[in-house]
Structure 1
Amino acid sequence: MGRTARRADALLRRRRGGARLLGPGRGGPRSSRHHHVARPAGNARRDHRDRDALARRGGDHLARRRGAARPRGHRPRCDRRGDRTLRGPAATRPDSPSTSEGDHVNIRPNRVKQKLAAGKIATILAGTNDPDLIDQLGLLDVDGIWLEGEHGGVDYADLGNLTRACDLWGMTSVVRVMDNDYATIYRTLDRGAQGIVVPHVNNRAEAEAAVEAAKFAPLGKRGMFTSRQGFGVGDYFKTANDQSLLIVLIEDIVAVRNLAEIVKVDAIDVFFVAPNDLATSMGHIGNMGQPEVQQTVDGALKKIVEAGRAAGTLVNTANVERYTKMGVRVAMTSFFPFIQAGTKEFMERAAAGARG
């Protein structure tokens, strides 16, 4: 019996011994021989046909089809650490690091920070706390996904899969936390977030507190723990600060009054003017379009840009061009209006067709 045929026989014996797979292409532990179930005679005949096919095709066909033994040295194409098969834009992005054994594993780059460093506009899409929907949104190729932990249902148990879905598509996971709390901020980062949004930062001391929680020494006092983003990264504590995004929200009138001091705080990547809460703090509840509110928003953005810092704000298709011309570099919006507009048009066209 030749080498290939012997290999085929060995594979079939393993199959008869009850080998199971955790999933397609993933080897799992074998079942105990004491739990072996007799195979029907028809299966035995199929085994011989499979063995012959395996021998004729060099021994690899059956292994590939059954998802069992793979050729020596075979490695599926994976993401930076090989935890899941890479898919989406990150699969072909030139800066996707190799996962070959022995290669140095680099920290995952932060796409929003890359855009800011290049002087480009970074786009962030809000409206989902579901990893499967993030996979679908990955096709849109936005720079980041806003995950709502202040007003939405995101909790620590969710963050692993939510941020991992963003990672697979090369999008920055941006999580708004509940408050400017040291433990809340660094634990959110530990769970895999690439970006933190800190609400209601109203003075310089509060801005400095956000930096202390979000950055490792020497920039801050973040607890020394290797987050999910650091698995396998040898120089993680030296490079994590460069790839973690920190956004502070300017959403109270008192923050606008203190803005000249707030923008002096280093290690903050984006000063984001939030118009809705700002309008409420000015006595114009739910009226972001009120002229005094608009003037205050525009003035705050102008101060941030003039200080040489990155400004961000909530936008829509009607005003995004106006704001980017003013110097806004982080444009965040929800995808709900796009769905509403598309659905409305769809229904109108369907009704028009029915009318003839």
Structure 2
Amino acid sequence: MNSSKCLAKWEAGQPVLGITLHLTDPSVFELTSLMGMDVIWVDMEHHSHSIETVNGLMRAARVGSSDLMIRPGNGEYNQMARLMEAGANGIMYPRCHTVKEAKLAVKSIKFPPMGERGLDAAGPDAHYGLTPLSEYLVTSNKGTFLVIQIEDQEGLAAAQDIAEVEGVDLLFFGPGDFSLQGGFAGKFNDSRYWDAVEKVADSAKSAGKLWGTPAFSSEHAKKLLDMGAMLITYSSDLSLFRKRLTEIKDEFKHLGINFS
């Protein structure tokens, strides 16, 4: 597999910026990666992409320098191992509530002695068998990362214990589900949002791990970076496409061109 840009920047004490790509045209992944985005977040929790489709998208992204971080559904441990074999640099595990879940995630994507991942060594992550086995086993464990999402009060309460699990690299606060379950859906100026962000940040720092969360603007991102965030994700292809189409409609209204 390609060496991880995220791990290299984190090792140097630098934050990384990612974007979510939902569209399944490989050209979108090629362009984004060629433009040098740190990490592309692919969401298989809320979208109907098959592993075969995501495999092709990751292959397209490898022409550039972006890392691939894939989010499967909660409890999809077998799928996580397949995604690693397809060449993912990292896994984002969603809706984590307990230390037990975090340990199962580690076991699924790391080879012994750290985990219990089964051996194939014939996929893209092993350069189809061209990488010597001894090298492959080491780079697969040390050269990939695991992000654990904290998205509800139960996970928040266990955040430090989760962060302390060996093999967990970063805690990632999910504000959407947290605000939904907390009764303030989408209201990210609510004090409960900032209290939760601070709790995740403190938990990660206390465990000697990294943390991150989505940002909704560069000003918002600056606040998060000032708090020590090391993984910021911003927007998505669908959001950017929708925003630009809306701007185009508004730009042409004064010419008498209207849209239904």
TM-score > 0.5, shorter chain as reference = yes
Counterpart of 2:209 in structure 1 is 309
Which amino acid letter does the alignment assign opposite residue 109 of structure 2?
A
Deviation at 1:314? 1.0
Take 1:161 and 1:221, find their aligned partners in 2: how far apart are those partners? 26
Tell me the equivalent position of 2:20. Answer: 126
SS in 2 for 1:272: strand
Per the alignment, residue 243 of structure 1 pairs with 143
Confirm whether residue 225 of structure 1 aligns to residue 120 of structure 2: yes
Aligned amino acid, residue 233 of structure 1: T
Q: How many residues align?
A: 249
Larger radius of gyration: 1
* Residue type at the aligned position of 1:203: T
- Cα deviation for residue 195 of structure 1 reads 1.4
> How far off its partner does 1:313 sit?
0.4
Q: Is there any run of 5+ residues in structure 2 with no aligned partner, and where?
A: none
**Of 245, 251, 254, the match for 2:154:** 254
In the alignment, structure 1 segments of 5+ residues that lack a partner are: 1-106
1:343 Cα offset (Å): 4.1
Give distance in 1, aligned partners of 2:102 and 2:252: 52
1:112: which partner in 2? 6
Q: CA separation in 2, counterparts of 1:315 and 1:137?
A: 19
CA distance 1:129–1:195, change in 2 (3 Å): farther
AA aligned to 1:261 is: D
TM-score of the two chains, using structure 2 as the length reference: 0.87
Instruction: State the Cα distance separating 1:338 from its structure 2 match.
Output: 3.8
Map 1:313-324 to 2 at 5 A: 313-317=213-217, 318-324=219-225
**Among 143, 155, 160, the residue aligned to 2:38:** 143
1:333 to 230, 234, 238: 234
- The CA deviation at 1:141 is 1.6
Could you say what secondary structure the match of 1:222 adopts? coil
Q: What is the rounded CA distance, in whole Å, between the counterparts of 2:31 and 2:124 in structure 1?
A: 23
Partner in structure 2 of residue 182 of structure 1? 77
The one-letter code matched in structure 1 to 2:131 is V
**Preserved CA contact (<8 Å) 1:279 1:286:** yes
Partner of 1:195: 90
2:194 alignment partner AA: Q
TM-score if structure 1 supplies the norm length?
Answer: 0.65
**Cα shift readout 1:156-213 (whole Å, capped 9, x = no counterpart):** 1112211111211121111100123331211221222221111111121211111000
Relative distance call for 1:245 and 1:348 in structure 2 (3 A) is same
How far the C-alpha of 1:337 sits from its partner, in A, is 4.1
Q: Of the two structures, which has the highest relative contact order with CA contacts closer than 8 Å and spacing of 6 or more?
A: 2
Find the aligned partners of 2:42 and 2:233 in 1 and give their Cα distance. Answer: 12
CA-atom RMSD in angstroms: 2.2
